[in-house]
Structure 1
Amino acid sequence: MLVGGLATAATAQTNLQQLEKTFQNPPDNAKPMLRWWWFGPSVTKPEILREMQQIKAGGFGGFVIHYVYPLALDDPQTGFRNLPFLSPAMLSDVSYANRQAHALGLRAGTALASGWPYGGPMTAVTEAAAKIVQKESTVAPGAHSVALPSIGNGQKLLAVFAQDGSAGSQQKMLPLPAPVTLRMAIPTGTHIVDWYLMSRTGQQVKRAAVDANGFVLDHFSHHAVADHLKNVGDKLVAAFGSEPPDSVFSDSLEVFGADWTPDFLEEFRKKNGYSLLPYLPDLFMKHPDAQALAVRHDWGVTLTALIDENYLTQVNAWARAHHTHLRAQVYGPPAVSLSSNNLVDLPEGEGPQWRQFAYTRWATSAGHLYGRPIISSETFTWLHSPAFRATPLDVKAEADRFFLQGVNQIYCHGWPYSPPSAGEPGWRFYAAAVFDAHNPWWIVMPEVTQYLQRVSWIMRQGAPANRVAIFLPEDDAWAAFTPGQVALTGLLPRWITPQLTQAIENSGYDFDYIDAAAIQARGIHYSLLILPNVDRISPAALTAIQQYEKSGGKVIALGRIPAHAPGFLHYEQISAEVNRESHAFFGHPGARVRVVQAVSGLGDALHQMLTPAMTLSAAKPAVGFVRRKLDDADIYFLANTSNVSIHTVAHLRSRYTSGTWLDPMSGKAYAAQSRNGGWPLHLAPYGSTILVLHAKNVRLPVAAGHDSFNPSSTKAIADLSSDWNVSFPALHLQEPMATLASWTKNEKTLYYSGVAVYRRTLEVAQNDLDHAPLLLSFGQGTPVSPSAFHRQMGTRAWLNPPVHVAAVVYVNGRLAGTVWHPPYVLAVGGLLKPGANQIEVRVANTAINEMAGKSLPDYRLLWARYGRRFEPQDMKHLQPLPSGLLGKVELLEGESR
């Protein structure tokens, strides 16, 4: 027994030591990835190679190629040309990029289409996204026939209903007219004729490359998807040769208005056991009754089944057959469910909204439920718009919100390919942050990407340990479908409100979503299940929840208890069964079952039923956490999502009493000291940290002390806020700066974007060096109120920093570190010497200043040639932004913590 215990302890120590060691330099597969925008495409092999070398140098793990709209016209005089999508020249460039990526150690993937959603010129109208349409004809008094509606290619008349127009009259289905009929006979007294047609949405592929525009395909059709894979997918993957793509990608579906497919009626009958044809009017009823809601539910379930079978399953199987994996954003219209994510190898989310319903948590929850170890996110899509406006701190502020939802692979949105002819700051996507080397703050990009890499890697260790699950009322959402509006993720926020999410998070719990399909397939492996205002539920799902409670699970019904059957067949009988069983289950609340009438009472109920995972000494809603569980430790990622410092004590649920801090910025480990069972937590604005809790007999190698900055326990030794010599290498300009001020105060540098080099001498006495640590402080940021700004797209850090916006610091020619996030302090004691010391600070701003000094590109002729395929986002009225060192720069004698 003793030997076994010692062996276990030794293994734990080895595992944790390896964890700490690997955390400093995580494997490359945890590096952030890029969306690489190929505009046109108008790429050349020399520029492809140059940009990939920069991608490598910036600390990225690789890229996925996206083939998007052109940004310039072909010019025979300069040799500039756009390559038609899937042309031999374009595919040759794809092959070249893949070969060079492998030579550089980068991962290369591809989108399976140009723009999004899937579709294009090879999608015929008969395979385009389809919808059901109701058209109404008013019949003249005494008329005995009515003209048929116009029916074009790709359309089909499904049914005809007549009504006499009297109060309470019922619609009567008529036989379909003969194919060549121009007018249709109608019963005497008919006042209104309703025609039900299958039509096409007409949606075009968004942001398409040259020769790639066309219809969005029918995602419910096996043939339409198969044809796209044959005509597009096969050619793209073939270009990768013997080295298949790292992954192939399906973007957010965004198939707007699609709710039908040619064989829908046949599929509906097979899946539901009755014909939908007589009930088509129920889909369009303005005030649906119980029957209409039940029919709509079955219509929605069928749509979900068809996209699962014909799109997700087929594309994922195709990817595997081509020795790669499908990475897919499984949300948005049309009607995918949470468990649809189980049909793809690599689910991906989008959206940093961690305190409300989010597509990101939709993806991470499915990954946790179905055992997907890697869950990625499309990140920085609208980060501090417009393009080039985002700062490194903005990047961290948004990334942490994704990590708090369980993401462990970042896809940066994105890297714009930009030829030398584009000049500075180069091309940019119509929206999104810019991560390429044209960005002035590229000088700190390796540090930014290393932060993302470390947190991504730590978020893959062990297993997710969320203890609360929210049951998604998908059956209620299916019943709420209406023609043209068939997205579960668009409707579920009616039930999964911000108030619900915040009540759980503010009470100290981490949570996932779960749906009925996941319960049937995987069971319920959470400590507590919440049913938020669920009305419709299947007897099978209700029985599974009852069995879960009998096995020790806890259940809260919020707002109401279930009372109705989901679908149409045997609706009244099954509803009575659900109502009876639900009242029996929830009718006698006890230790493991509660009915909470309002979300305001949810927090108290949770605390009575389940110990929180985290309790803070004072309420701090801006602090979020994620818990991962190892065999021998618990890992907590903790982040401050606010613009003010937070000092509190965190009581964390764990059986372990010893801890080690891991700093995701430096990669260092520090011994953690508990205080009365809690862990003192000091988080700078938008700061984050990782706490590993482990057994007492485990000793991780740790640094001497935690270098978190406490301004209240410092003493100023020297003020360095004046007498700098500043040079602007790109301008061949050098000027003294007696007092620190923004570059925009000087007409010569008003529109300058790039790097400025600050130099000065610092005299340090020997006795100052004897006191450690010595810190170089650049000042503190000032919180900014969001209310002071007009509505804008995207996340941003609401902090006015003392360094605009990033700096690399050298002391006596040796690298001291980078400064781009609070607390804007560097330890420099080991770099200083008695007497004169040379301080050099290379400061970078954003590209906005240069863009503000230029005219915006004139896309008139481009749009005349190719159509208006994009609209630059938030590019009007650009103004130069403050730049440079603007805080109080001091040498401090600090106190480590």
Structure 2
Amino acid sequence: MRSLRLLPALAAIAVCAHASLATAQHPAPLAEAHGYSYPATSLATLHAGFEHPPADARPMVRWWWFGPAVVKPEIARELAQMKADGIGGAELAFVYPEVLDDPAKNLRNLSWLSPEMLDAVTFAQAEGKRLGLRIDVTLCSGWPYGGPHITAEEAARRLRLMAVPLPVGATSLPLPKLAAAEEIVARFVAKGDAKTWDPSSAKAVTGDVIAPATAGQVALLFIDGHTGQQVKRAAVDADGPVLDPFSRKAVANHLKTVGEPLVKAFGATPPYAIFSDSLEAYGADWTPTLPEEFKKRRGYDLIPHLPELWLGGTEAAAKVRHDWGITLTELINENYLTQINDWAREHKTRFRSQTYGEPAVSLSSERLVDLAEGEGPQWRAFSTLRWATSANHLNGRTITSGETFTWLHSPVFRATPLDMKAEADIDFLSGENLLIFHGWPYSPPKMADGTPEVPEPGWSLYAAAVFNDHNPWHPVMPTVTDYISRMSWLLRQGKPANQVALLLPTDDAWAAFMPGKVSVTAAMQQMVPKELMSAVLSAGYNIDFIDAETINRQGLGDHTLLLLPPSDRIPTATLKAIDTFVERGGHAVAMGKLPTLDPDGKPLPDAMHLTQSIALTPDAGSAAKALVAAMKPDLAMSNVSDYDRGVIGFIRRSLRDADVYFVANTSNQTVKLTADFTTKFAGGQEWSADSAMTVRSIPAHGVDIELAPYQSRVYVFGNEAVKPATPAKDITSHTLAEMDNNWTVRFAGTGATRKASLPSDWNAGDTQHYSGEVVYSQDVTLNKLPGGKVFLAVDGGSPEPGAPNAPAGPERTKSDLLPDGTPNPLVTRPGPGTHAWYLAPIREAALVTINGKPTGALWHPPYRLDVTSLLKPGVNHIEIHVYNTAFNAWSALPPHDFKPLIAKYGDRFQMQELDKVKPLPSGILGTVKLETETR
């Protein structure tokens, strides 16, 4: 064995191939390629696919049916709009009612699973199929799984304790009144009182008779009880308890009662997938069969150990909690995940599962579902999105979907195309390559006289962004989906090439379980230090999570570096696998401490625990430096500040004949750097992520890169001959025409016109509450056209106070205020929702035409379009069609009265942050010019 401490800096040691990835196979006709293929791919072929990605790379939407109160003409209209927008499909999601029934407006809430509701599902599937759209279905109403069909015996359960002080001389235990299907599973008498008692003194009691109680004794009654959780955001008549996810019977009942009619409604063409949202059975940590299953699987009786399980604090208690945790994981794996996945296959569909949350699932649980999905743009910390993408990478699955934009710029209708790009790029960096927008609210159609059945901007979820055509900037959506589709397709090519595998301390998480807190993913939020993730990413690596079970089953795959966060427990088989990994050329680095215990809490054998295979480093920075000393990062950055290094992200895909890098600036400031790409190819090309145009030829090393705020690019390397490299610094720009004055401004919704100079904000006076399209037009005379390219550029954007988290370099302060007393734009401030912290010069997006021909969209920095081919000598008519958010018009409406709705259906939702619905700056808030570019 070799110690990493003794290896020279930047040593490049090839890692021997490990066992092939274990994968599950779909039954015919659902066979999909698992494992990664390496067809010969020229750069030209790759570029053609990037320019025109296939339909299955299109993003999807979560389509909320409220009530559901839906009608077929509107279902058809919205599906057609999705198709026109470049959206590839929809996930049917049935949620709470928005209004009372109103026959005069043709508003009627359809009862859950009623013939009328299922007929609407049948129609949506048929219409989606006709349009070539993928249709998935959520196998419940609201979330998590449950409803009125779930009996008291099948409802989610928890272990609860009644601690009752015993009067001196008492000879019987106090018996509580239990709810239906609850029972006492164990009785003890211990020293102490109701709040403080000694688990070591606890004596089991059979029956209710006890020896006469002495002073200072307490009865401990452990009860198999209900969590009491009800399905959240349920549709009409879909209320009921959340099911017990550990119970095979409860899950089977749900599949029969809910799954069968929903899938049957799809007729001869099943849904592409059935869906289970993130596991949110809060507090669920027990099931009636648990004592029996525990004894069968762990080899001893759990019941006598309930007092120490409850209180913890000792080595013995940690072992019991660990064994309890792993048993819960096994039960949900078998009775929830595997049962649903098998049922889906039997019904000729797939199970798309967000396999994280509460309770108990592990990273290895992901391999039990056909389609593993994640969510969460926490790029530089633990996230369930990277959890899902890592599992798919480990299991040889090409596509990872993600619930995307869940909290994008709250409240509803506030999110913009720039916000979408800011989050989408982080999702791409984390490995996602199928975005499922959260979401698209169904909203009632107009009545026969043309008036809307509900006021604009229509229905929306209580929180989350809105991507339907009630959103004023919606005309720009096809451009946004084009970008997302292009990147999604490209990031499916070849195989993932993340160098670092981070070993999740799952055994530590199980040992830290306690009643009411049984989530591995929640534990990882604390056990995977943010500073470690950040340091490794800043060093130029990308990361997959891995767990001990995966390593024991199949090794570390193509990863060359293994990273251990601070941990206590590790299986001896995993340590042996790490030794083999290092012997074959891999490198292992631990931060803070090495594990010293096996999963049972016993000390590891000296030969194991003192292994020299793992380099121990004191902190995150040292761990990152140790990785760099062992193996050159995939993207080595120089001539860059510490802060800027921390906001640049990348992900790499490896093909037989090419390497693909997606590189993104996740910050609100321009970043410059010099990049060395670790690729076997000598040169390549830089592609525009927006237009797919080849920007320039580049070498693999010493590439000068400049990225505007939230800008991204693609770098592709291959064997094909490329033109001589074009340094970015050799490109210069010159102003051809300034266009700040003499604009005609027309409000498309009213027909009103005015003259304006730039900047021009219509958030004032009689247009303050205008939401929609405004056309800025001007004629520009060009005596002759220049020889080079000509761009229309909008300048004037600036960072918004409250930027995303990033490491602080010596030249950037992290204090709340700058020296002049203004807010520091680099400090994250409280508030829900991801968004782009940038004051854009276009509010919020625009489509440009020149001489009547469309030239493109302005929706993110740099706000610049190539207009060379559309200009002519003489007069050129330029129009910039600007679209804002719904906020301005929405803010003029009176508050909606939900009291009648609550009176009939209960308080099923609460609209969030309505106090923030205020008119926003709108229009062109920068300056416009035509500029030439020469090399």
What residue is the counterpart of 1:198 in the other structure?
A: 224
Q: Distance in 1 between matches of 2:494 and 2:41?
A: 15
Q: 1:755 aligns with which of 773, 795, 812?
A: 773
Q: Larger relative CO (CA 8 A, sep 6+): 1 or 2?
A: 2
Q: 1:413 aligns with which of 429, 438, 441?
A: 438
What residue is the counterpart of 1:589 in the other structure?
A: none
Q: What whole-Å deviation, never above 9, does each CA across 1:390-417 have from its counterpart, x for those lacking one?
A: 1100000000001001111100000000
Q: Distance in 2 between matches of 1:717 and 1:163?
A: 87
What residue is the counterpart of 1:6 in the other structure?
A: none
Q: What whole-Å deviation, never above 9, does each CA across 1:341-361 have from its counterpart, x for those lacking one?
A: 001011111100110011011
The answer to whether 1:722 aligns with 2:755 is no
Q: What whole-Å deviation, never above 9, does each CA across 1:430-449 have from its counterpart, x for those lacking one?
A: 11111101111111100100
Task: Note the C-alpha offset of 1:12.
Answer: 8.5
Q: Distance in 1 between matches of 2:106 and 2:866?
A: 52
Task: Note the C-alpha offset of 1:552.
Answer: 2.2
Secondary structure of the 2:918 match is coil
The answer to whether 1:173 aligns with 2:203 is yes
What residue is the counterpart of 1:52 in the other structure?
A: 79
Q: Distance in 1 between matches of 2:148 and 2:316?
A: 41
What residue is the counterpart of 1:517 in the other structure?
A: 549
Code of the aligned partner of 1:685: P
Q: 1:538 aligns with which of 560, 571, 574?
A: 571
Distance change >3 Å, CA 552–CA 169, structure 1 → 2: closer
Task: Note the C-alpha offset of 1:877.
Answer: 4.0
Q: What whole-Å deviation, never above 9, does each CA across 1:312-369 have from its counterpart, x for those lacking one?
A: 0000111111111111101111000001000101111110011001101100111011
Q: 2:422 aligns with which of 378, 397, 400?
A: 397
The answer to whether 1:860 aligns with 2:899 is yes
Q: Which moved more, 1:855-864 or 1:730-739?
A: 730-739
What residue is the counterpart of 2:320 in the other structure?
A: 295
Secondary structure of the 2:261 match is helix
Q: What number of residue pairs does the alignment pair up?
A: 859
Q: 2:847 aligns with which of 790, 804, 808?
A: 808
Task: Note the C-alpha offset of 1:795.
Answer: 0.9
Task: Note the C-alpha offset of 1:536.
Answer: 1.1
Code of the aligned partner of 1:174: A
Indicate conservation of the 8 Å contact 1:843/1:885, yes or no: yes
Q: Distance in 2 between matches of 1:324 and 1:109?
A: 9
Structure 1 runs not aligned, ≥5 long:
1-10, 178-182, 587-591
Q: Which moved more, 1:539-548 or 1:633-642?
A: 539-548
Aligned counterparts, 1:227-626, within 5 A = 227-285=253-311, 288-420=313-445, 421-525=453-557, 526-567=559-600, 575-576=602-603, 578-586=604-612, 593-617=614-638, 618-619=640-641, 620-626=645-651
Q: Which moved more, 1:393-402 or 1:69-78?
A: 69-78
Task: Note the C-alpha offset of 1:736.
Answer: 1.9
What residue is the counterpart of 2:754 in the other structure?
A: 735
Q: Which moved more, 1:74-83 or 1:787-796?
A: 787-796
Secondary structure of the 2:934 match is coil
Indicate conservation of the 8 Å contact 2:796/2:925, yes or no: no
Q: 2:884 aligns with which of 840, 845, 848?
A: 845
Q: Distance in 1 between matches of 2:523 and 2:786?
A: 64
Task: Note the C-alpha offset of 1:553.
Answer: 2.0
Indicate conservation of the 8 Å contact 1:148/1:184, yes or no: no
Task: Note the C-alpha offset of 1:579.
Answer: 4.0
Q: Distance in 1 between matches of 2:615 and 2:829?
A: 43
Q: 1:642 aligns with which of 645, 663, 667?
A: 667
Q: Distance in 2 between matches of 1:811 and 1:756?
A: 16
Indicate conservation of the 8 Å contact 2:794/2:929, yes or no: yes
Indicate conservation of the 8 Å contact 2:191/2:198, yes or no: no
Indicate conservation of the 8 Å contact 2:381/2:528, yes or no: yes
What residue is the counterpart of 1:781 in the other structure?
A: 797
Q: Which moved more, 1:14-23 or 1:135-144?
A: 14-23
Q: 1:107 aligns with which of 125, 129, 134?
A: 134
What residue is the counterpart of 2:915 in the other structure?
A: 876
Secondary structure of the 1:143 match is coil
What residue is the counterpart of 2:685 in the other structure?
A: 660
Indicate conservation of the 8 Å contact 2:411/2:912, yes or no: yes
Distance change >3 Å, CA 138–CA 781, structure 1 → 2: same
Distance change >3 Å, CA 790–CA 546, structure 1 → 2: closer
Distance change >3 Å, CA 368–CA 738, structure 1 → 2: closer
The answer to whether 1:40 aligns with 2:67 is yes
Distance change >3 Å, CA 755–CA 895, structure 1 → 2: same
Q: 1:128 aligns with which of 155, 158, 165?
A: 155
Task: Note the C-alpha offset of 1:169.
Answer: 7.8
Q: Distance in 2 between matches of 1:560 and 1:827?
A: 54
Q: Distance in 2 between matches of 1:835 and 1:538?
A: 77
Code of the aligned partner of 1:657: A
Q: Distance in 2 between matches of 1:165 and 1:89?
A: 60
Indicate conservation of the 8 Å contact 1:684/1:822, yes or no: yes
Indicate conservation of the 8 Å contact 1:670/1:705, yes or no: no
Indicate conservation of the 8 Å contact 2:157/2:224, yes or no: yes
TM-score normalised per structure 1: 0.93
What residue is the counterpart of 2:820 in the other structure?
A: none
Secondary structure of the 1:843 match is strand
Q: Distance in 2 between matches of 1:648 and 1:172?
A: 65
The answer to whether 1:98 aligns with 2:125 is yes
Secondary structure of the 1:621 match is helix
The answer to whether 1:211 aligns with 2:237 is yes
Distance change >3 Å, CA 187–CA 551, structure 1 → 2: farther
Q: Distance in 2 between matches of 1:884 and 1:184?
A: 79
Code of the aligned partner of 1:19: L
Task: Note the C-alpha offset of 1:667.
Answer: 1.8
Indicate conservation of the 8 Å contact 1:345/1:372, yes or no: no
Q: What whole-Å deviation, never above 9, does each CA across 1:151-191 have from its counterpart, x for those lacking one?
A: 221201100010244996843433442xxxxx644444271
Secondary structure of the 1:120 match is coil
Q: What whole-Å deviation, never above 9, does each CA across 1:276-328 have from its counterpart, x for those lacking one?
A: 0110011211x510000010000000000000000000001111111111111
Q: What whole-Å deviation, never above 9, does each CA across 1:565-623 have from its counterpart, x for those lacking one?
A: 212xxx5xxx24x141333313xxxxx53111222311221111111111111242100
CA RMSD across the alignment: 2.0
Indicate conservation of the 8 Å contact 2:687/2:696, yes or no: no
Q: Percent identity?
A: 45
Distance change >3 Å, CA 867–CA 96, structure 1 → 2: same
Distance change >3 Å, CA 109–CA 185, structure 1 → 2: same
Secondary structure of the 1:842 match is strand
Q: Distance in 2 between matches of 1:763 and 1:188?
A: 101
Task: Note the C-alpha offset of 1:816.
Answer: 1.6
TM-score normalised per structure 2: 0.89
Indicate conservation of the 8 Å contact 1:639/1:689, yes or no: yes
Distance change >3 Å, CA 544–CA 187, structure 1 → 2: farther
What residue is the counterpart of 2:31 in the other structure?
A: none
Code of the aligned partner of 1:34: V
Q: What whole-Å deviation, never above 9, does each CA across 1:619-662 have from its counterpart, x for those lacking one?
A: 42100010110011111110000111112211011111110122
